[in-house]
C-alpha cells in the first residue's frame, strides 16, 4: 500500500489532497472545488479515468440490479449531476425513484436541468444536504449508492453510519471509488498520467488546474480496498466485498444491512 494512503483508522478528516487543513476546513475547500468544476463534471471523470468511469458506473448499476417494480427507492449521495441516478431509473424500466443528495448546489443545478431534459422529474428528487447528516428518517431507502464521492467526505465513518441508518433491513450499500492499483507497471503509468497530465489538461480545457490537482491527490490518500472494506464493516454492514476494475484503478464495494 502506498505510504501516502490513509488507513481504516482514519485520516481523511483533515486531508485536503496532500495538505493537512484545520478540522472543519476540508468541507469548505472541497465545496469550492466542485463549484468550479460542476459544469464539466463528466469531463473531469473522463480525464481521471480515460473515459472508463462510464463503464464502471454501468457495472455498479448492474450489480445493484434494481427491481422493475414501483415503490423501490434509492438514495444516490454525492451524485448531484444525476449520472448514477438516471442509470438506475433506466435499468428499472422507469419504476425506481431516486433521491439525489449533494452538498454542492452547483452540482445539483446541473442534475435538475438534466432530469428535466430527460423527462425524469417524476422519478427524481434533488436534495442539498451533507452526507454526514442525512435529512431522512431511519429505514427509508432500499439502496444507497455513492460514486467517486466518499473520499471527499471529511468524516467517512459518520457518512457510513448514516448510510446504514437510512437503509431498510435488507438494503444495499454500493460505493464506487478510485482505489489502489494492484499491478505495479500499471500503477506507475497511472500515477505519471494522474500527477503530470491531468492538472495540465484541466488548466487547458477548464482554465483551472488546481481542482484537478486536488482530485488526483485525494485519490492517492484514500484507503485501499481492504481498509475501506473494514470501515464499511465497522459501520455494521454485512456481506462486505469488493470488485476491482481496470487493475484496481477503481473498486466497487458492496455491503448489506441484514
What is the DSSP secondary-structure string of 6-65?
A: -BTTB-GGGEETTEE--TTTHHHHHHHHHHHHGGGHHHHHHHHHTTTHHHHHHHHHHHH-
Question: What distances in angstroms separate CA 145 from CA 3, 79, 118, 195, 204, one per listed residue?
Answer: 28, 9, 21, 28, 32
Which residue would you say has higher pLDDT here, 28 or 89?
Answer: 89
Confidence class for position 218, pLDDT limits 50, 70, 90: confident
Q: Is the pLDDT of residue 166 over 50?
A: yes
What's this model's pTM, rounded to 2 decimal places? 0.87
Q: Is the pLDDT of residue 37 over 80?
A: no
Cell of 106: 452547483
pLDDT value at position 48? 66
- The average confidence (pLDDT) of the chain is 88
Q: Is the pLDDT of residue 40 over 50?
A: yes
**In angstroms, what is the C-alpha Rg of the chain?**
17
Taking alpha carbons only, the member of 9, 2, 76 closest to residue 228 is 9
In the chain, % of residues over pLDDT 90: 59
Q: SS3 of 90, please?
A: helix
pLDDT value at position 107? 87
* Distance, CA of 256 to CA of 236 (rounded, Å): 9
Which residue would you say has higher pLDDT here, 252 or 26?
Answer: 252
pLDDT value at position 5? 74
Average pLDDT over residues 42-56: 80
Range in 21-35, 210-224, 233-247 with the lowest mean pLDDT: 21-35
pLDDT value at position 1? 44
Average pLDDT over residues 171-177: 97
pLDDT value at position 111? 94
Question: What distances in angstroms separate CA 93 from CA 9, 86, 90, 128, 147, one per listed residue?
Answer: 41, 11, 5, 26, 21
Q: Is the pLDDT of residue 14 over 90?
A: no
Q: SS3 of 198, please?
A: helix
Which residue would you say has higher pLDDT here, 204 or 158?
Answer: 158
Which residue would you say has higher pLDDT here, 190 or 84?
Answer: 84
pLDDT value at position 28? 79
Which residue would you say has higher pLDDT here, 81 or 255?
Answer: 255
Residue pair 148/84 in contact (Cβ under 8 Å)? The answer is: no
Beta-bridged to residue 163, according to DSSP, are none
Q: Is the pLDDT of residue 189 over 80?
A: yes
Helices (H), the chain: 26-37, 41-49, 53-64, 83-91, 105-118, 156-166, 184-192, 198-206, 210-221, 225-234
Q: Per residue in 107-160, pLDDT tens?
A: 899 999 999 999 999 999 999 999 999 999 999 999 999 999 999 898 999 999
Average pLDDT over residues 62-78: 97
Q: Is the pLDDT of residue 208 over 80?
A: no
Amino acid at each position: 500500500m502506498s505510504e501516502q494512503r490513509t488507513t481504516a483508522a482514519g485520516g481523511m478528516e483533515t486531508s485536503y489532497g496532500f495538505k493537512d487543513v484545520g478540522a472543519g476546513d476540508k468541507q469548505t475547500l472541497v465545496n469550492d472545488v466542485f463549484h468550479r468544476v460542476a459544469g464539466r463534471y463528466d469531463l473531469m471523470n473522463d480525464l481521471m479515468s480515460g473515459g472508463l468511469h462510464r463503464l464502471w458506473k454501468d457495472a455498479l448499476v448492474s450489480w445493484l440490479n434494481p427491481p422493475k417494480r414501483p415503490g423501490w427507492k434509492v438514495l444516490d449521495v454525492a451524485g448531484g449531476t444525476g449520472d448514477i441516478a438516471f442509470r438506475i431509473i433506466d435499468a428499472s424500466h422507469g419504476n425506481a425513484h431516486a433521491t439525489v443528495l449533494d452538498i454542492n448546489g452547483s452540482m445539483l443545478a446541473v442534475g435538475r436541468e438534466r432530469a428535466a431534459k430527460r423527462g425524469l422529474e417524476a422519478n427524481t428528487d434533488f436534495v442539498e444536504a451533507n452526507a454526514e447528516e442525512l435529512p431522512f428518517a431511519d429505514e427509508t431507502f432500499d439502496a444507497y449508492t455513492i460514486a467517486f464521492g466518499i473520499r471527499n467526505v471529511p468524516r467517512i465513518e459518520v457518512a457510513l453510519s448514516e448510510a446504514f441508518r437510512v437503509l431498510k433491513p435488507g438494503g444495499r450499500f454500493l460505493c464506487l471509488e478510485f482505489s489502489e492499483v494492484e499491478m505495479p507497471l500499471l500503477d506507475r503509468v497511472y500515477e505519471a498520467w494522474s500527477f503530470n497530465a491531468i492538472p495540465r489538461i484541466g488548466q487547458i480545457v477548464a482554465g483551472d488546474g488546481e481542482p484537478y490537482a486536488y482530485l488526483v491527490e485525494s485519490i492517492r490518500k484514500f484507503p485501499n480496498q481492504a481498509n475501506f472494506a473494514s470501515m464499511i464493516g465497522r459501520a455494521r454492514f454485512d456481506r462486505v466485498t469488493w470488485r476491482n476494475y481496470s487493475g484496481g484503478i477503481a473498486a466497487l464495494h458492496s455491503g448489506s444491512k441484514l
